[in-house]
A = this chain, B = another copy of it.
Amino acid sequence: MTLLNETHDPALRSWLASANTAGGDFPIQNLPFAVFRRAGTPEAFRGGVAIGDQVLDLAAVAAAGVFAGDAQAAARAASEAKLNALMALGPAAWSALRLALSRALREGAAGQAALRPCLVPQDRVEYDVPARIGDYTDFYTSIHHATNIGRLFRPDNPLLPNYKWVPIGYHGRASSIGISGQGFHRPVGQTLPAGAAQPVVGPCQRLDIELELGIFIGQGNAQGEAVTITQAEAHVFGICLLNDWSARDVQAWEYQPLGPFLSKSFATTLSPWIVTLEALAPYRAPLQRPADDPQPLPYLDSEANRREGALDIQLQVDLLTPRLREAGGEAATICRTSYRHAYWTVAQMVAHHTVNGCNLQPGDLFGSGTLSGPTPQEAGALIEMTQGGKQPLALPGGEQRSFLLDGDTVTLRGWCEKPGAARIGFGECRGTVLPARG
């Protein structure tokens, strides 16, 4: 487990004033990674770190030779168009770079003059998917989501017998993962209308969101060698926001017996910023598994995982409809929850994924699965919020939504805050539904 160190000190302030704004996502205690370039230019993408309202260009930092040793090696690895090389370096290098950045960005730091020319305003950049994602695995770690969804499909038997034993996951589609700000066309697919004898093909009528976190793997493991739960977090680079857009009508018709496929593979949206596990260390929480539930099998269990395997990441979903946009642009918040309610932790996902010898590689992505909390207001998907579409959400101005309509924009947000620690944020994960292609 990551111990707190000087980079977590809530009293730290940066010489960059915008990093010290109360309630900001990117204070000096955060230092998340993205790949970026100046918007609208043909520049190469390269790694950057968020600080206040700026991006610190790591390619420029590396070229300037501001740092030395592991920190310089990490900055150089982060100069590429994808962060895989940085991810492959492992926790000691990530930590060295974080410490060097923290020291150089602090009030009074000697590095100020060298770093200032490496800053680019966030409102002038565009982002890309931060890694070459070799494989994307989507988990199902919220027992509340599994139960809510299960109740819609199987009222008498909502939670399957394996759920409390197996951190259920499945392979997702990597090619269609995009970055915050993207629009995507409403998918077309086969569905079986209620009462119909045969399926029809057409635009999805039950387009949904899934509020998830994305977990980027750092160092991989060799094929055939399981990662123990004790080692698991050393293989994790960091966490971002993830919206697993879902075509529920397509899903219902296609998913037996091999699981969801085209109902998910048309688009998945990530937030650009990856918050490192080290930055998240102050917000660890005990894993809340009811005492009368079966306790995890040994390969999924450790004292540290029980004590602080969960992460209290606050999550919010905002919906901006075309009508709300015209009325002034204020989105409706339709969900508030926390990642701390997940039944399975990041460490358990890694240990489970590799127990059979499956090899993880730097830049692989895990989705947490929809992060619904225990109450209806904490549901992370419209299908849950609306009881399968039967109880539409009431939005400001008299509008209603069962599922997404064309022009709807959904924005996920995440942040951590607690007494005695700085508030750090994840930025946003935003996507817009475009009409189906003709």
Interchain CB contact (< 8 A) of A134 among B174, B253, B259, B260: B174
Q: Which chain B residue shows the least CB distance to A247?
A: B356
Inter-subunit contact B254/A162 (CB<8 Å): yes
Inter-subunit contact B184/A224 (CB<8 Å): yes
Inter-subunit contact A171/B172 (CB<8 Å): yes
Inter-subunit contact A352/B262 (CB<8 Å): yes
A384 at the binding interface (Cβ < 8 Å): no
CA distance A165 to B199 in the complex (A): 8
A400 at the binding interface (Cβ < 8 Å): no
A290 at the binding interface (Cβ < 8 Å): no
CA distance A192 to B163 in the complex (A): 13
Give the chain B neighbours of A255 by CB distance below 8 A. Answer: 257, 259
Knowing A162-B254, A173-B171 are in contact, say whether A259-B259 is a contact too (CB < 8 A).
yes
Interchain CB contact (< 8 A) of A258 among B135, B168, B192: B168
A358 at the binding interface (Cβ < 8 Å): yes
Task: Identify which of residues 359-400 in chain A touch chain B, using a CB-to-CB cut-off of 8 Å.
Answer: 359-361, 364
Q: Which chain B residue shows the least CB distance to A260?
A: B258
Q: Which chain B residue shows the least CB distance to A299?
A: B201
A149 to chain B, nearest CB (A): 8
Give the chain B neighbours of A361 by CB distance below 8 A. Answer: 175
Inter-subunit contact A256/B160 (CB<8 Å): yes
A220 to chain B, nearest CB (A): 8
Inter-subunit contact B188/A356 (CB<8 Å): yes
A190 at the binding interface (Cβ < 8 Å): yes
Inter-subunit contact B259/A297 (CB<8 Å): no
Inter-subunit contact A188/B258 (CB<8 Å): no
Interface bits A243-278 vs B (CB < 8 Å: 1, else 0):
000010010011111111111011100000000000
Interface residue range, chain A: 35 or more
Give the chain B neighbours of A299 by CB distance below 8 A. Answer: 201
Give the chain B neighbours of A171 by CB distance below 8 A. Answer: 170-173, 261, 265
Inter-subunit contact B356/A175 (CB<8 Å): no
A111 at the binding interface (Cβ < 8 Å): no
Give the chain B neighbours of A258 by CB distance below 8 A. Answer: 138, 140, 168-170, 259-260
Give the chain B neighbours of A27 by CB distance below 8 A. Answer: none
Inter-subunit contact A262/B173 (CB<8 Å): no
Give the chain B neighbours of A261 by CB distance below 8 A. Answer: 137, 168-171
Give the chain B neighbours of A224 by CB distance below 8 A. Answer: 184-185, 266, 437
Give the chain B neighbours of A134 by CB distance below 8 A. Answer: 134, 174-175
Interchain CB contact (< 8 A) of A356 among B140, B169, B187: B187
CA distance A304 to B162 in the complex (A): 45
A189 at the binding interface (Cβ < 8 Å): yes
A179 at the binding interface (Cβ < 8 Å): no
Interchain CB contact (< 8 A) of A265 among B175, B184, B358: B358
**CB pairs A–B below 8 angstroms (23 shown):** A134-B175, A162-B254, A166-B253, A166-B254, A168-B254, A168-B261, A170-B171, A170-B261, A171-B172, A171-B173, A175-B358, A175-B359, A176-B358, A176-B359, A178-B223, A187-B357, A190-B297, A225-B437, A250-B356, A259-B259, A259-B260, A262-B358, A266-B358
Using A176-B223, A188-B355, A258-B260 as known contacts, list a sample of 12 further A-B pairs with CB atoms less than 8 Å apart, ordered by residue number in A. A135-B173, A153-B257, A162-B254, A165-B198, A166-B199, A168-B258, A170-B260, A173-B358, A175-B360, A189-B355, A201-B297, A266-B356
